[in-house]
Structure 1
Amino acid sequence: MSNGFDAEGDKKKKKIAVISVSSLILVAMVVAVTVGVNNAPHEDLDDGGGGGDLHDHGDDGGDVHDHGDYGGGGGDAHDHGDDGEKISSSTKAIKTICQPTDYKETCEESLMVEAGNTTDLKELVKAGFKIAVEKLNAAIRNSTTLQELAKDPRANQALQNCRELLEYAIDDLHDSYHRIGTFHVSKFEEFVNDLKIWLSAALTYEQTCLDGFENTTGDSGERMKEFLKSAQEMTTNGLGIVSELSNILGTLHEPAATGRRLLDTDMPLWVSDGKRRLMQLETGAIKPDLVVAQDGSGKYKTINEALVDVPMKSNKTFVIYVKAGIYKEIVVIPKHMTHLTMYGDGPTKSVVTGNLNFVDGIQTFKTATFAAIGANFFVRDMGFVNSAGPTKHQAVALRIQSDRAIIYNCQIDGFQDTLYAHANRQFYRDCTISGTIDFVFGNSAAIFQNCKLVVRKPLDNQQCIVTAHGRLNRREPTALIFQGCHFMGDPAYLPFKKVNKAYLGRPWKQYSRTIIMGSQIDDLIQPEGWLPWMGDFGLNTLFYAEVQNRGPGADQSHRVKWRGIRHITPQHAASYTARRFIDGDAWIPVRGVPYSSGMM
């Protein structure tokens, strides 16, 4: 993959020199502070494209100064204090590392206690991750105590879910911690992208824990919020530090710089002959490791029986073939089951179905018929259904939080909250997703190509909303992105489209981000396009954009006029394509699925 740099211009050469000389990524954070990373107004962060949040703070080729005492980890720091008072090198280093964060006081106080007298900024960042993990572990311990006191069954269940979710957050923080120790300049862009995604996922899990207390009684929700406060702030601070690192070193590039272009056949030029053979195998009759057959013709009659024999923590692809049949089971691909591939006989033939739902007392997070958590999950030619129906409200058919997940030629059917695109990087191609309210939701960096979004008939008093993105922080590299898709109505819904009105989306969280480009939007979508969540919540901070769409529902002349509605050019929209937003060229084409890395 590209190392994230090119050779043009003295400016970029100087950036490379800074990293190469120090071999510590944290020197870039010192640079970020000295050149004024906070000069740009926060509300305009999305205008940078490239994942949305990148700025070039090096105007006019401005020199990057070498403050070697910080980068080297032990030299005296110069005093830039307001009154010129002398402070220790360690204190100065801590103030430097905390400068770009949202919660500076939390950052400084925590590191003062944890980090001792070190001035090594790399170690200070690692200490920040360690503190966040300690805070999450404390919250898990407290959740056990709260569970003993919680009388509300829903609150009790939320506390159980919190323990699981916070374990996921801890895993992502651990991954981030160890990633810092493996930094190499040739992998800089991959390094930064991974850290931002994992830190965003950790924030998402922390917030999902708290979301579980909505509509519960008692004070356990408020108590849990207090327990999580420091951990959330430290996680947010980590995201702030890493984001400013990417800002100052300018990881946004023109597409041509990557050297990756696709032919009309969607076969990337950069793939070796060996990889091409792998791609051909994956698109044809690949031999599975395990076969699931409901009719008894295989070793396993259920998917869960087969999962028992899947290796954990594997770096090799493991393949399960699910023969045609209706599989009535709740399936979870756990965190440590990685590189799992699952394929069926077709999206309406090999179908997993369940009916867990909120009305019957199950938290939304746990209603999923099928959930994939382990990284590098790939599924194709299968169907996922939550059959609970519209009267049962939240009822998830498929929940994906696997990083670098691929969902190809699948059908995902439900009503409210059908697809929970929970966290991390996800790619959907040639899928059909149906539902009524917020039926594509979550806080992932998810790209949908050539998919059908089918609005179904809701309850009599309900409106229909296709998307509800949950970005929590302006620095998170997440969004729901639709390319070459079709927003359409189910035949049973169309007679009611003027009564049960349909909208493209609404802001579930404050920095909700959704981009729709090159898609067909039918006339079921209301002229306003987008719907508020509650009052003016998120309307100034969201990021919604429509680019080069077609169809009667694509007319933007009567769209809502919120501050967060963006009118971006195709050139800016290219920043939200698979190559640039989720580094798709590095992991999608080798699976042999149809794929467009740029604008479609």
Structure 2
Amino acid sequence: MLKGKLLCDAFNSLRTSASSIVDFATTKVGEFGSSACTDHQYGCEYNPLCDDFPPDFPPPDTPAVSVFCVDPNGCCDFRTVQAAVNAVPNHSRKRNVVWINKGVYFEKVTVPASKPNITFQGQGFDITAIAWNDTAKSANGTFYSASVSVFASGFVAKNISFIVTVKMLHNNVAPIPRPGAVDAQAVAIRINGDQAAFWGCGFFGAQDTLHDDRGRHYFKECFIQGSIDFIFGDARSLYENCRLISIADPLPSGQRSITGSVTAHARVSEDDNTGYSFVKCSIGGTGWIWLGRAWRPYSRVVFAYTSMSDIIASEGWNDWNDPSRDQYASFNASVDSYLHKRKTVFYGEYKCTGDGANLADRVPYAQKLSDVQVLPYLNTSFIDGDQWLKPYCDSLISA
């Protein structure tokens, strides 16, 4: 039955490496993705593959929530995620939960702007995944390479992974690029709609994994893997208790050349209120990487209470090798009234820990934030969460 309750902190066992989802994706495609539908529950003949299907799903619709059930073996109304999305009524005001059974769904999925208020609910980010293998070259541009593209407002995802760099069917693979590689970018998900939230999700890629593009977004207890600019875009987003794992090329002992970066924020004006805030996250993995680089002149990123391993380069940040991006400019009075002037980019750190958190050799335009400076970035008020976030928790189904 449908159980609406707060599940904001429901995901309690994030994996510490990408190996489990890689192994899962490469071994389970055949197991879960090849059988013909003979479902006992949806009018087909008996199929033993459906015996493990939860007997109480899909739960009944309610006045507030509609449920669309997806299973790769045909034990549901839909075999593909895109088919379920297509079935959601346009411009629906209800919460439409796309309940996705365990399996790898090798498909390119789009949630158009005409289908707001959709939830993707998986069964665990290490056993439920949507994967595709486009790159910037094959898709005619980085923005179009995404395995999943979300243009609708009010999107929610829970306990599911979005993948681009897993060897899948027919040996297709999006390669791990080296710094400076041309057309090798590959996006796991592009989020272009406002008010999107993710709980316990996985994002697996290399260069440009998570296109956090436009709108206000929230990420809680997620696992984000990549190498170069693996969180990029011009959204206003809060990341809480997330694991950020670099798979950038490891360096031989004693060498210190940059092989990756966590963020590339694209704020273009001091009047824009966009930026990324990372609170109580952790950064680990391989390589020698920056916390961020200024994709656009007013890039804004803050790390607070975050554990940083020794893969973080001592300088911490990069201005895209363009000194004009770290010049003084006036603050936006509505956002940054506590100071009179600042650098064009806004890169701040506050009470971070670990070998990579030493501020002694940071670039001069990076800021050690004060208690007052960091305050706007520490909680969901940064993304106006009091206006929209809590009802999303109430609409999730117990899994």
TM-score, length-scaled by structure 1: 0.49
CA distance in 2, matches of 1:292, 1:311: 16
* Pairing of 1:197-236 with structure 2 (within 5 A): none
Partner of 1:241: none
Assess if the C-alpha contact under 8 Å between 2:136 and 2:143 holds in 1.
no
Assess if the C-alpha contact under 8 Å between 1:389 and 1:414 holds in 2.
no
CA distance in 2, matches of 1:292, 1:482: 33
Assess if the C-alpha contact under 8 Å between 2:159 and 2:201 holds in 1.
yes
Pairing partner for 1:483 from 273, 279, 296? 279
CA distance in 1, matches of 2:324, 2:284: 27
Q: In the alignment, is residue 578 of structure 1 matched against residue 379 of structure 2?
A: yes
Assess if the C-alpha contact under 8 Å between 2:208 and 2:232 holds in 1.
yes
Query: Larger strand proportion, structure 1 or 2?
Result: 2
Q: Percent identity?
A: 29
CA distance in 1, matches of 2:245, 2:118: 28
Q: In the alignment, is residue 434 of structure 1 matched against residue 225 of structure 2?
A: yes
Secondary structure, aligned partner of 2:82:
helix
Pairing partner for 1:330 from 98, 104, 108? 108
CA distance in 2, matches of 1:286, 1:422: 32
CA distance in 2, matches of 1:279, 1:395: 35
Pairing partner for 1:383 from 151, 158, 161? 161
Q: Deviations over 1:381-437 (max 9, x none)?
A: 000001212246211001111211001100000000000000010000000101110
Secondary structure, aligned partner of 2:369:
coil
CA shift for structure 1 position 450? 0.3
Q: Deviations over 1:84-112 (max 9, x none)?
A: xxxxxxxxxxxxxxxxxxxxxxxxxxxxx
Pairing partner for 2:83 from 305, 310, 313? 305
Structure 2 counterpart of 1:438, one-letter code: D
Partner of 2:339: none
Secondary structure, aligned partner of 1:438:
coil
Assess if the C-alpha contact under 8 Å between 1:432 and 1:452 holds in 2.
yes
Q: In the alignment, is residue 453 of structure 1 matched against residue 241 of structure 2?
A: no
Pairing partner for 2:207 from 416, 421, 434? 416
Cα distance 1:448–1:552, how it changes in 2: closer, same or farther (>3 A)? same
Partner of 1:556: 359
CA distance in 2, matches of 1:438, 1:557: 24
Structure 1 counterpart of 2:282, one-letter code: H
CA shift for structure 1 position 280? 4.4
CA distance in 1, matches of 2:107, 2:250: 27
Structure 1 counterpart of 2:73, one-letter code: D
TM-score, length-scaled by structure 2: 0.73
CA distance in 1, matches of 2:185, 2:374: 32
Q: Deviations over 1:476-529 (max 9, x none)?
A: 11001100000111xxx3xxx3xxx21101000000000000110111101111
CA distance in 1, matches of 2:361, 2:122: 43
Structure 2 counterpart of 1:511, one-letter code: Y
CA shift for structure 1 position 539? 1.8
Partner of 1:114: none
Q: In the alignment, is residue 425 of structure 1 matched against residue 228 of structure 2?
A: no
Pairing partner for 2:197 from 406, 419, 427? 406
CA shift for structure 1 position 533? 0.8
* Structure number, greater radius of gyration: 1
Unaligned 5+ segments in structure 2 are 12-56, 60-65, 166-173, 178-182, 252-256, 328-343, 395-399
Structure 1 counterpart of 2:381, one-letter code: R
Structure 2 counterpart of 1:381, one-letter code: N
Unaligned 5+ segments in structure 1 are 1-276, 594-600
Q: Which has the higher contact order (CA 8 A, sep 6+)?
A: 2
Assess if the C-alpha contact under 8 Å between 1:421 and 1:440 holds in 2.
yes
Assess if the C-alpha contact under 8 Å between 2:258 and 2:290 holds in 1.
no
CA distance in 1, matches of 2:370, 2:152: 36
Structure 1 counterpart of 2:301, one-letter code: T
* Pairing of 1:77-88 with structure 2 (within 5 A): none
